[in-house]
Amino acid sequence: MDVPKVFTEYAVREEGWEFIPNPALYAEVATPIQKVNTDALLKELCWSYLDDVILDIGCNNGDVTNMLLSKSDQIQHITACDILGPCIEYAKKENDNPKVTYLEMDVSKEWTTSWENKYDKVFSNECLNMILDQETVLKQVFKSLKPGGEFGASYFLQVEGLQTAILTLMGKDKWRKYFQGATKDLRS
């Protein structure tokens, strides 16, 4: 029986597993998948973009933010944020655009009051599942939306320990063959 390979793009094993942001590797491996998911999500949302000001939560390396921006030349501005500093730095370098501001921030913390009623749309793809305090984030999202604003997101479900379980299996002889060729060693 063929078992699908599992892909993990941000981990190395020393004493335990450590999360290491690698935006260039993410761009190579995960962004193509994210673009497919983003395209499907945006088609489902049926958004129009008329002088919109948009917030992109969990922008990572900025590739999906650029994809969102490419949907219309009428988008006024996108504020794209992520908690991972290396990803924001990569986004500023590789996906620089005068219509985009990249910010390193933890969206589960209090947002600036200047964001209240600021955004026409809030977008988040494959990010909210990694946020423990989703209730606080969603309250902030809806405070940030203008009246009539829209929120589109994917991946809310939190599966505690899933990444750790996958990484642990990768280290076991019995399961290692299913991960061969599906990961990269980030130590080299």
- Domain ranges across the chain: 48-153
From residue 87, give the alpha-carbon distance in Å to each of 62, 94, 131, 154, 184. 8, 10, 17, 20, 18
Neighbouring residues of 17: CB distance < 8 A, sequence distance ≥ 6: 11, 163, 164, 167, 168
Name the pTM for this structure.
Answer: 0.76
User: Which one has a higher pLDDT value, 180 or 138?
Assistant: 138
Comparison of pLDDT for 100 and 135, the residue scoring more: 100
What is the DSSP-derived secondary structure letter of residue 91? Answer: H
Q: What is the pLDDT of residues 116-166, one digit of tens each?
A: 999 999 999 988 877 888 889 999 999 999 999 999 998 766 666 665 666
Q: Which residue has the higher pLDDT, 173 or 163?
A: 173
In total, the chain counts a number of residues equal to 188
CATH entry, 48-153, from 3.40.50.1970, 3.90.400.10, 2.60.40.10, 3.40.50.150: 3.40.50.150
Looking at residue 149, its pLDDT comes to: 96
CA-to-CA distance for 53 and 118, rounded, in angstroms? 7
The span from the CA of 113 to the CA of 127, in Å, is: 23
